[in-house]
């Protein structure tokens, strides 16, 4: 999936003639902390909530004030993972998507990314979670997949996390079986260190937790 396929239909851009108060009103309406500034279909920049709060005159046009951000954006053809990287590194609630010659196409919001990520990581599918701690040089997803598949299961998603100041890493595996005891035993036989495991089911409580996260992101 690429950036243009993630564009939100619910967020409108600002123009340089809009005031700081109008910007704050729109941020509250769209439940975001940033908004793109567009004139004649060209992306000019992104204004943050703090930019407006620091304005000497919130009723003045936003085009007459300096912005704290250096025009963040992603190209329409950038991959989903690159969009996540950009929005995370710059700590944004949304990021503009542009086409040729900086033509503004829309924005991708953090909330939409979280929803999409839930599909990529099989959050909504029942199964078990296994967290292994291994040396970076010993990492082999193919070997882990063979261990899981030898127990009539498959890996739905995987996530890597390098431990700070260490050559070790955590590998989180989501598998499609809720009874993961046989899989854990096989990993142990092969000398893997199991840091934690979760027997997960898809139930109403999980749905409520996920919806709670969405509500939090919208605050």
Q: What pLDDT does 171 receive?
A: 94
Q: Judge whether residue 217 has pLDDT over 90.
A: no
Q: What pLDDT does 207 receive?
A: 54
Residues 94, 142, single domain; the answer is: no
Q: Which domain does 113 fall in, by range?
A: 3-117
Pair 21, 35: CB distance under 8 Å: no
Q: What pLDDT does 11 receive?
A: 95
Looking at per-residue pLDDT, the higher value among 186 and 201 belongs to: 186
**Nearest-angstrom CA–CA distance, 117 and 52:** 31
Residues 110, 19, single domain; the answer is: yes
Whether residue 218 is contained in a domain is answered as no
Residues 86, 136, single domain; the answer is: no
Q: What pLDDT does 147 receive?
A: 97
- In the chain, what are the helix, strand and coil shares in percent, each to the nearest 5? 35, 30, 35
**Mean pLDDT across the stretch 48-67?**
94
Residues 7, 79, single domain; the answer is: yes
Q: Judge whether residue 9 has pLDDT over 80.
A: yes
Whether residue 215 is contained in a domain is answered as no
Q: What pLDDT does 219 receive?
A: 43
Q: Judge whether residue 205 has pLDDT over 70.
A: no
Residues 75, 49, single domain; the answer is: yes
Q: Provide the number of structural domains found in the chain.
A: 2
Q: What pLDDT does 123 receive?
A: 66
Least confident of 90-94, 113-117, 146-150: 113-117
Residues 93, 143, single domain; the answer is: no
Residues 46, 96, single domain; the answer is: yes
- The model scores a pTM over 0.85: no
The per-residue DSSP string of 95-164 comes to EEEE-GGGBEEEEEEHHHHHHHHHHHTTTTS-EEEEEEEEEGGG--HHHHHHHHHTTT--EEEEEEEEPT
Residues 36, 73, single domain; the answer is: yes
Residues 40, 98, single domain; the answer is: yes
Q: What pLDDT does 159 receive?
A: 85
Residues 109, 129, single domain; the answer is: no
Pair 178, 119: CB distance under 8 Å: no
Which two three-digit tokens encode residue 143?
A: 């070997």
**Nearest-angstrom CA–CA distance, 126 and 199:** 9
| Chain CA centroid to CA 119, Å | 11
Which two three-digit tokens encode residue 83?
A: 């969009």
Mean pLDDT of the chain: 88
Residues 129, 112, single domain; the answer is: no
**Mean pLDDT across the stretch 65-87?**
92
**Nearest-angstrom CA–CA distance, 92 and 49:** 11
Whether residue 138 is contained in a domain is answered as yes
Residues 101, 146, single domain; the answer is: no
Largest Cα–Cα separation, the chain: 68
Whether residue 140 is contained in a domain is answered as yes
Q: Judge whether residue 212 has pLDDT over 70.
A: no
Whether residue 170 is contained in a domain is answered as yes
């Amino acid at each position: 999936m690429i950036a243009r396929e993630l564009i939100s239909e619910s967020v409108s851009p600002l123009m340089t003639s809009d005031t700081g108060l109008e910007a704050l009103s729109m941020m509250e309406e769209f439940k975001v902390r940033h908004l793109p500034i567009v004139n004649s279909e060209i992306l000019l920049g992104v204004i943050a909530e703090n930019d407006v709060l620091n304005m000497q005159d919130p009723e003045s046009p936003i085009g007459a004030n300096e912005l704290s951000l250096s025009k963040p954006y992603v190209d329409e053809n950038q991959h989903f993972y690159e969009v996540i990287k950009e929005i995370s590194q710059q700590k944004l609630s949304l990021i503009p998507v542009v086409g040729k010659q900086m033509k503004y196409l829309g924005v991708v919001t953090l909330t939409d990314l979280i929803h999409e990520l839930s599909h990529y990581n099989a959050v909504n599918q029942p199964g078990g979670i296994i967290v292994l701690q291994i040396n970076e040089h010993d990492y082999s997803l193919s070997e882990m997949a063979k261990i899981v598949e030898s127990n009539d299961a498959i890996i739905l998603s995987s996530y890597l996390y390098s431990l700070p100041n260490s050559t070790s890493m955590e590998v989180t595996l989501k598998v499609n079986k809720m009874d993961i005891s046989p899989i854990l035993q096989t990993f142990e036989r092969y000398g893997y260190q199991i840091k934690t495991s979760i027997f997960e089911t898809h139930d109403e409580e999980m749905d409520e937790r996920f919806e709670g996260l969405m509500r939090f992101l919208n605050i």
